Homo-oligomer: A and B are copies of this chain.
Amino acid sequence: MKKVTIKDVAKEAEVSPSTVSRVISDSPNISKSTKEKVRFIMDEMGYYPNAIARSLVKQKTRSIGLVMSRPTDRALANPFFSGVIQGIAAVAQEKNYSLLLTAADNYEDEYQEALKQLKVGRVDGLVLLASRINDDLIKQLLKNNFPFVLIGRSQEFPSIPRVDNDNYKAAFDLIEKLIKSGYKDFSVLAGHKDYVFTGDRLKGVIDALKAHSMNLDPVKIEFTDFTFKSAEQSAYKILSNHKTDALIAFDDLLGMAAVQTAEALGFSVPDQLGIVGFNDHTLVSYLKPSLTTVKIPIVDMGERAISMLIKMLEDSSYTGEEEIISTEIIERESLKFI
Interface of A toward B, CB cutoff 8 Å: 1, 3, 48-53, 55-56, 61, 63, 66, 72-73, 76-77, 79, 81-82, 85-86, 89-90, 92-93, 98-105, 109, 113, 116-117, 119-122, 144-145, 227-229, 232, 257, 260, 263-264, 282-283, 286-288, 299
Contact = CB atoms under 8 A, between A and B. Distances in A.
A98 B98 contact: no
Given A76-B76, A77-B282, A120 B50 contact: yes
Given A1-B144, A89-B101, A100-B100, A61 B52 contact: yes
Number of copies: 2
- The 6 residue pairs across chains A and B that have the minimum distance between CB atoms: A89-B103, A76-B82, A51-B120, A73-B86, A48-B119, A228-B286
Interface of A is mostly: helix
Given A48-B120, A49-B120, A90-B105, 14 more contacts: A1-B144, A48-B116, A51-B121, A52-B56, A52-B61, A72-B86, A73-B82, A93-B104, A98-B100, A100-B100, A101-B101, A228-B283, A232-B286, A263-B288
A110 B50 CA distance: 20
28 contacts: A1-B144, A48-B120, A48-B121, A50-B121, A51-B120, A51-B122, A52-B52, A52-B55, A52-B61, A52-B121, A52-B122, A72-B86, A72-B89, A73-B82, A76-B76, A76-B82, A76-B86, A89-B101, A93-B105, A93-B113, A99-B101, A100-B100, A100-B101, A227-B282, A228-B282, A228-B286, A229-B286, A263-B288
Nearest to A116: B48
Contacts of A66: 101
Nearest to A119: B48
A264 to B, nearest CB: 7
A129 to B, nearest CB: 13
A254 to B, nearest CB: 12
A130 to B, nearest CB: 16
A49 to B, nearest CB: 6
A105 B91 CA distance: 11
A270 to B, nearest CB: 17
A275 to B, nearest CB: 15
A79 B93 CA distance: 23
A112 B282 CA distance: 29
Contacts of A51: 120-122
Contacts of A1: 144-145
B72 A76 contact: no
